[in-house]
Chains A and B, each alone.
Chain A
Amino acid sequence: MRIIREKSGDRNFELAVPEAALLRQALESTAEAYRTNPGELDPMVGNVWYGRAGLREAGIRGEDALHWIEGLHEVRLGREKYAQNWLKKLPAVGQSGVWLLPVNEVDAFLATLNDHRLRRAAEFDLGDGDLEVMALEKARGDKRIALVEIHFLAWIMETVLHQ
């Protein structure tokens, strides 16, 4: 994969078949999770995207806490619309190709990839040691797939952030 920053700030992605497939899969699954009501998510995921930790201590309870969570969900629903557009423009399934990320969508893209990483880590309760690259070699099955996604998206995010 190559990510080229244009003068405009737009990012041009050159994606090989597996890279396009992985990015597509991440965006599709996270878009679906965005559409899901917070209370209906896997509790571990709900806790990391819509965590109530700290709300009670800050005196944010009842209706106020609900509004807090609803606000976070609204933001993610906004990102879901971006994700649908990105998916339309990614190379078709089974194909390599180029994909343009407009500069004004970079922030939403980074946050969406980050949300995917948080979600996948929460699904497998991954902590510090689990996220070391060496741990990837020992992981198996779905956990290994999750770790591949987490590291792949990290690479994309680091590249975009450092351009």
Chain B
Amino acid sequence: MIRGAIDLPEVLPEQKNDLSEAFAKGWRVLVWNDPVNLMSYVVFVFQKVLGFDENKAKKHMLEVHERGQSVVAIETREKSEFLCHRLQEFGLKSTIEANPA
């Protein structure tokens, strides 16, 4: 063994599945329409929380307004939870769900 080298643990097959799932973008973040939130405020929140540019933020805001909901992100479970929580912090109605394969 080379001095200073680190022995990495072997990844077992079942662990590989857990790791794959953890890093798979298998979850959707949805925003739902509500009668109170201003359209301009929703655009602002999308830019701030999701990093959308103005055009993309407006596009998704209009989806929420006209269709009742919009899928604003498809991410890992952990990231989806984070984004959903952030959107709720700003008063938006947001949920997460498994992304249909």
Contacts and interface: CB of A to CB of B under 8 A. Distances in A.
Contact of A126 (B35, B38, B40, B91): B35
B96 A157 contact: no
Given A115-B91, A150-B36, A157-B41, A54 B96 contact: yes
Interface residues of A, number: 31
B91 A49 contact: yes
Contacts of B95: 53-54, 57-58
Contacts of A133: none
Contacts of A157: 38, 40-41
A63 to B, nearest CB: 14
B23 interface: no
Listed residue (A51, A54, A57, A121) with the most chain B CB atoms within 10 angstroms of its CB: A54
B37 interface: yes
B10 to A, nearest CB: 30
Interface in B10-64: 35-38, 40-41, 44, 48
B35 A128 contact: yes
Interface residues of B, number: 19
A146 to B, nearest CB: 11
Nearest to A75: B89
B97 interface: yes
A71 B90 CA distance: 12
Interface in A119-146: 121, 126-128, 130-131
B99 interface: no
Interface of A: 48-49, 51, 53-54, 57-58, 60, 68, 71-72, 75, 107, 110-111, 114-115, 117-118, 121, 126-128, 130-131, 150, 154, 157-158, 161-162
- Those 4 A-B pairs whose CB atoms lie nearest each other, nearest first: A54-B95, A128-B35, A161-B40, A75-B89
